[in-house]
Structure 1
């Protein structure tokens, strides 16, 4: 337990954090608005659940993954605020273009463009937050940032369902693209590029390590390596529930689309945000009380609880139990994120952060948001029947438990790793 006085914050740290959080709210809206539009899009283009799984996940995750590593390379080398302003504008325009699609392939192509441009958002934000906030406050700052996914998803579910019901699903895409364009201008005009933190044993003006050097560093550090794998596996389960939640409620509980969007949106917005806000301070408290070596225990516990609550959500026939399980799932799955990413950005050198976070985001979007919803859709199609989504959602919960095992290994590795302890003692 350390009694050292926390390092002072960089100038403008809180303002920048607010802007970065709003940017990722926009990111999450544009990413997830497709999920509330599944039913009307399915009806118009006569799609199967497997095709919808591609549209909601793989079409986005594929280009996200392919663009992620080049974006990470740029993030470690260029002005991050200008890069962020550019990609926010691009993905906002591409989201609006989705509303003009006249066929399934055209909609897939537009979603591919959204995925590629969104790949820079989280890695840029993580890199900047790590430079703006010292290690004692980093999990809390990241917890605040990751509330954006809850607020963004909730906004897309709540407003997307209402807009689609009253003005058509195309209008929902048009509206979703507007906030990002405003934020792009705001970033360019008001957000300053933060000074990069000094690498351990090096100088801040040294060139960034190559992607290969970063890969070797991660593979040689079992704590970071297993956290990396754990985040990817957890995303398989934690993407399956929000993406299919509204359709699940329509098919199994007889909800209308606006009703399903309201329930799913409130669950994600209120309790998902609560989970994000809790996860950061819990992670920081664990670090202060038991040392950073214990931090992997937080996402490990969250993964186990997410698996249990996700299974109850999927398999229960009682609306009350389904609602309560969904609330618990949202709290624990969102609480997972901040401490998990804190392990990654704290355990590697500062000029490796862009590549590392881009890589893990590529994995989470290709395997998690890409394959996760697709697995749900494929299992649903194979089972068949009006309640087949129950089995699709239950199937992906195994990945949450598998992720917990990797964080358990990361915990044991961190307790033995002198290198990991030294990395955050600096």
Structure 2
């Protein structure tokens, strides 16, 4: 189940900055390559199956308990209830410890290997049931089953964060989450379909063998996704380095200071705290619902069990629907996602109250099932998908630990919740009053999730700002041959210093409002500015170019006189114009940004974007000038590669040897368009058409016919076309399009030319000497 290559957009993406839109570079979309691999459907399905098999054994002990009694000896119902309660408590506490341990290990080692190890351990525990002969041994084996149950969730979350971008991360995590519900249900089905003559231990053997086979497949085939490969703040660096054949990956390591900062992040803290009151309704429904329906409503044991089954099935469906809907809401509005999940948690209390207070009779069995299913659906939608929020606000190297801590809090809360319920019943007296009170405590959980709406967007922006800052520090350090930030660089200091309490615009507006009451209106305008900017970025991310242009235009009207504030918006609107195909307006906006803001960041990005627009317009001399300016401002592999490509295109254009121009096609033309253009151009200058022409005209036509054939031979071959686009294609002369007179100079003095980028041609742009002091 390897992760295969090929990004969603099949090309290089330029990130303007952490607030701006991500813009495809059309000149890099010539080949289906991307640094961030697209996760194949085979991988997604494979892991879903693996998670399902891993969770199949979760309920085997409770399902088989009657048959276990036949084997180990009968015990009274009172002793049986106490034994199951203590064993379940021990199992849940072990799962809490496993969540912490596995989550932390997920930040330090290969996750497929960790997953395979977790599976093997869990299935060996299943095989251990074959030697169980006493209740004490059964207790120990059942407790150890909590290792797999507790470790799966943080491990799945850690992997999902690096396998999927933020615009699909929650939905994919939800799909995997259904496996954690489907696994136990499948285990119950397995027990039901096994012949009664089979020993109860056979179900454990079947589950163990299936799990061990899956573990072997994962260990042999699965690849660990690169950490941080889908982070927006790192996209520019990763794509640029991949493009020139020198892949770069995020390599920050987990440290003690970073761990201590986990609970200090507001979104994390709210996520952990809401899990505590959420455990009470869960414990009530999962542990006491069947007893309540039997004792208070007259249901049979089988009917009450079916009501509980519908609750669990609704939870699985809720995990999926909550993830899909929540992802769609997140893609439109960051704060909308926790609002939606919190609303689900609060509304989900209503069907729980109905089950307790409506007095369903055995004749209303079907209605009770539906209500229980709805309760599970809303609870599953809310509480499982909180993990997606936590993923998006924590750094790649600590996500496993952060989600492990969440899993531990959930497990501990659920372990003690039944004890709290049991202790709460006698003082209240009436089961109805006690259950109603405990259900209403779950309201605190919904409120906690809703409060994340006010912290989620900021925490996410802070994270991307931190990653962007660290990346920039490292790039400068690599150019100087020093550790990031100098010899005494401490990444933790940079990490903490990069976390702003407010945006620069809001800070300035607040100061103005504090010093002059009449300027309080300025703060409102800044809020409007930020809202319109975010709206434009959201439209851009969803490829709604015209709406993005409209939002950015309105944003520029908030304070037209503030050039520095508006420079970012000019760059963003230029990106939208570029994608909409209006290159002239894109160039105008880049020029305006250059004129109104002389900061290094805006100057660099505006020159780069304008250069790319000029390349699309085939104005290569202007493109070269912009890329030369960008290189002088920021001497990196990326700016070197862009300038080299611009010079290569200019040289081809002047010589008339540009194969795209020869065929008259655009640089993103597909194979069908290239073939059609070849036929048209070949017919125009075919020798059979030259009857009656002069010798000079025949000679020129023959040369053009030959050039058309050469162009088609290269552009119709995917490998040659890729090399031609990268400037590494050798036409047989021994000199590639990317080679220049500098190579001849280097060969004369050093005996060999220096490689100039392109995959497989050595270190990019590194000369053995330079003239800089």
TM-score range, shorter chain: 0.7 to 0.9
In the alignment, the residues of structure 2 paired with residue 206 and residue 60 of structure 1 have an alpha-carbon distance, to the nearest angstrom, of 36
State the partner residue of 2:91: 60
Shift of 1:331: 0.9
| Pairing partner for 1:423 from 463, 466, 473 | 463
| Pairing partner for 2:320 from 259, 262, 277 | 277
In the alignment, the residues of structure 1 paired with residue 433 and residue 84 of structure 2 have an alpha-carbon distance, to the nearest angstrom, of 17
> Structure 1 residues 8, 152: CA separation in 2 closer, same or farther (over 3 Å shift)?
farther
In the alignment, the residues of structure 2 paired with residue 255 and residue 299 of structure 1 have an alpha-carbon distance, to the nearest angstrom, of 34
1:20 aligns with 2:62: no
Q: How many residues align?
A: 415
In the alignment, the residues of structure 2 paired with residue 397 and residue 107 of structure 1 have an alpha-carbon distance, to the nearest angstrom, of 33
1:397 aligns with 2:439: yes
Q: Name the SS of the counterpart of 2:226 in structure 1.
A: coil
Is the deviation greater in 47-56 or in 60-69?
Answer: 47-56
State the partner residue of 2:268: 224
1:104 aligns with 2:135: yes
In the alignment, the residues of structure 2 paired with residue 48 and residue 391 of structure 1 have an alpha-carbon distance, to the nearest angstrom, of 27
| Pairing partner for 1:342 from 382, 388, 391 | 388
State the partner residue of 1:354: 400
1:306-317 to 2 correspondence within 5 Å?
306-317=348-359
Q: Is the 8 A contact 1:99 1:169 kept in 2?
A: no
Shift of 1:214: 3.6
1:126-275 to 2 correspondence within 5 Å?
126-160=157-191, 170-197=201-228, 204-210=249-255, 212-238=256-282, 240-242=284-286, 253-255=298-300, 257=302, 264-269=308-313, 271-275=314-318
Is the deviation greater in 79-88 or in 150-159?
Answer: 150-159
State the partner residue of 1:87: 118
Shift of 1:168: 6.5
In the alignment, the residues of structure 1 paired with residue 49 and residue 208 of structure 2 have an alpha-carbon distance, to the nearest angstrom, of 13
Q: Name the SS of the counterpart of 1:120 in structure 2.
A: helix
In the alignment, the residues of structure 1 paired with residue 345 and residue 115 of structure 2 have an alpha-carbon distance, to the nearest angstrom, of 31
| Pairing partner for 2:372 from 321, 326, 339 | 326
In the alignment, the residues of structure 2 paired with residue 228 and residue 267 of structure 1 have an alpha-carbon distance, to the nearest angstrom, of 24
In the alignment, the residues of structure 1 paired with residue 153 and residue 287 of structure 2 have an alpha-carbon distance, to the nearest angstrom, of 19
Shift of 1:275: 1.3
Shift of 1:37: 4.5
CA shift digits 1:257-307 (9 cap, x unpaired)? 5x66555445533x3332122111211122122x21332212211221232
Q: Which has the higher helix share?
A: 1
Unaligned runs of 5+ in 1: none
Shift of 1:230: 1.8
In the alignment, the residues of structure 1 paired with residue 218 and residue 211 of structure 2 have an alpha-carbon distance, to the nearest angstrom, of 10
Is the deviation greater in 271-280 or in 231-240?
Answer: 231-240
In the alignment, the residues of structure 2 paired with residue 334 and residue 348 of structure 1 have an alpha-carbon distance, to the nearest angstrom, of 23
> Structure 1 residues 228, 10: CA separation in 2 closer, same or farther (over 3 Å shift)?
farther
In the alignment, the residues of structure 2 paired with residue 316 and residue 182 of structure 1 have an alpha-carbon distance, to the nearest angstrom, of 48
Q: Is the 8 A contact 1:147 1:277 kept in 2?
A: yes
> Structure 1 residues 399, 281: CA separation in 2 closer, same or farther (over 3 Å shift)?
same
| Pairing partner for 2:107 from 35, 54, 76 | 76
Q: Name the SS of the counterpart of 1:193 in structure 2.
A: coil
Pairwise CA RMSD of aligned residues?
A: 3.7
Q: Name the SS of the counterpart of 1:107 in structure 2.
A: helix
In the alignment, the residues of structure 2 paired with residue 208 and residue 235 of structure 1 have an alpha-carbon distance, to the nearest angstrom, of 33
Is the deviation greater in 276-285 or in 30-39?
Answer: 30-39
Q: Name the SS of the counterpart of 1:45 in structure 2.
A: coil
In the alignment, the residues of structure 1 paired with residue 103 and residue 167 of structure 2 have an alpha-carbon distance, to the nearest angstrom, of 25
| Pairing partner for 2:59 from 14, 29, 32 | 32
> Structure 1 residues 374, 157: CA separation in 2 closer, same or farther (over 3 Å shift)?
farther
Q: Is the 8 A contact 1:164 1:170 kept in 2?
A: no
Shift of 1:311: 2.6
> Structure 1 residues 220, 64: CA separation in 2 closer, same or farther (over 3 Å shift)?
same
CA shift digits 1:350-391 (9 cap, x unpaired)? 1111111111112212222x223444566679999xx97x78
Q: Is the 8 A contact 1:226 1:407 kept in 2?
A: yes
In the alignment, the residues of structure 1 paired with residue 435 and residue 187 of structure 2 have an alpha-carbon distance, to the nearest angstrom, of 21
In the alignment, the residues of structure 2 paired with residue 166 and residue 312 of structure 1 have an alpha-carbon distance, to the nearest angstrom, of 41
Unaligned runs of 5+ in 2: 1-18, 25-33, 238-247, 469-773
Is the deviation greater in 25-34 or in 241-250?
Answer: 241-250
Q: Is the 8 A contact 1:101 1:107 kept in 2?
A: yes
TM-score, normalised via structure 2 length: 0.48
CA shift digits 1:293-345 (9 cap, x unpaired)? 33221221122123222232244431344212211112111112453111111
In the alignment, the residues of structure 2 paired with residue 208 and residue 239 of structure 1 have an alpha-carbon distance, to the nearest angstrom, of 38
| Pairing partner for 2:412 from 342, 366, 370 | 366
Q: Is the 8 A contact 2:290 2:308 kept in 1?
A: yes
| Pairing partner for 1:287 from 330, 337, 347 | 330
Q: Is the 8 A contact 1:50 1:374 kept in 2?
A: no
Q: Name the SS of the counterpart of 2:262 in structure 1.
A: helix
CA shift digits 1:175-231 (9 cap, x unpaired)? 443432222122122222111115768984534222x43443223321221012223
> Structure 1 residues 136, 363: CA separation in 2 closer, same or farther (over 3 Å shift)?
same
* Bigger RCO of structures 1 and 2 (CA < 8 A, at least 6 apart): 1
Shift of 1:4: 6.0
